Amino acid sequence: MLGSGDGKGVGAGPGVGDAQRDVDPEPDHEAIARKILLDQLTGQARSRHELAARLARRNVPEEIAERLLDRFTEVGLIDDEAFARAWVDSRRRTRGLARPALAQELRRKGIDEETLRGVLDEVDPGAESESARVLVRKKMRSMRGLDETVAMRRLTGMLARKGYSAGVAFAVVREELGATEWADEH
């Protein structure tokens, strides 16, 4: 009897739609992949390699992933060269990284060697030396009480970790230490 308090309300018994509710429909991998790609590209550019890895982690079949990645590339939503340029510009400004460190990061992002070389060739060596100077000047403020030899070692080590060659690092540090009162203080 319906509604008599026996726990069986309207629609609680076997019915027409039960077979459909019990079987999970096949997921729409293409729709899922499109959503993943669009979510990943919102607010920040990403390399094709990063996007492919994200799709693989979400178990999107490879043929669907490749087709969508090709289409997104074709319409300009994925552009590894533009991504690499933006990455280099950002990392140079915010972290002061030199070309070798930038190249290593771009390789981890899956940027091919030809694109990587082309983008890094656009970096002005003079601008790179100036970036090293800015980093050294900033770091020197916290090193006032140190011996010049210790300061030299720490400053060149910092530049080396950021990808600057030993020649650039030593030249910049020597110039900056000599240009300040550091030489007079010690």
pTM of the model: 0.73
- The pLDDT tens digits of the residues spanning 3-36 come to 555 555 555 555 555 555 555 566 788 999 999 9
> Mean pLDDT for each consecutive 10-residue tract of the chain (186 residues)?
50 52 68 93 93 95 95 96 95 91 96 96 87 92 89 94 93 88 53
**CATH for 28-78 (3.30.460, 1.10.10, 1.10.3470, 3.40.50):** 1.10.10
What ranges do the domains of the chain cover?
28-78, 80-123, 125-185
d(CA 102, CA 127): 14
And the tokens for 175? 């110039």
Nearest to 172 by CA among 133, 115, 116, 137: 133
